[in-house]
Structure 1
């Protein structure tokens, strides 16, 4: 995905990248926490506090975070990849172990 696909997400290079042009960039989503996103857990989570939370509100992307660390890192997944993952979970493709 291109940076423009993420709308208001900021991109930055690692401080270890130096001046070279072949660098991996990471999305700086710290500002997403204050962007008015509504985070939620699965309805199957019950009252547990060890959950994965997702938020809607960024087009074509699903933000995911750890409920125990709401100010921590946020992973961004393409919406179609997240849908495929959920279909696999619901279809029994993954086993608990």
Structure 2
């Protein structure tokens, strides 16, 4: 059985956010790096902003309330890939 991985975001003040139309700039204070992202990354980070650890399935369910995400299995896999990318950038961490 695969382990279920949950993710969480650092404190709200760890990242400064600047939205420029469809592009969002994320300045990670600790690393001094600025990351340019587009949807669905800001929406995924917004779900993690509450501070609770969330699995890709939980993020999917929260986003599905407002967005048509398509086929669940594909969407959850894509969300999981985005979460792993956010971990690699230091913008999220495994719980």
Normalising TM by the smaller chain, what interval?
0.3 to 0.5
TM normalised by structure 2 equals 0.34
Structure with greater helix share of residues = 2
TM normalised by structure 1 equals 0.33
Of structures 1 and 2, the larger Rg is shown by 1
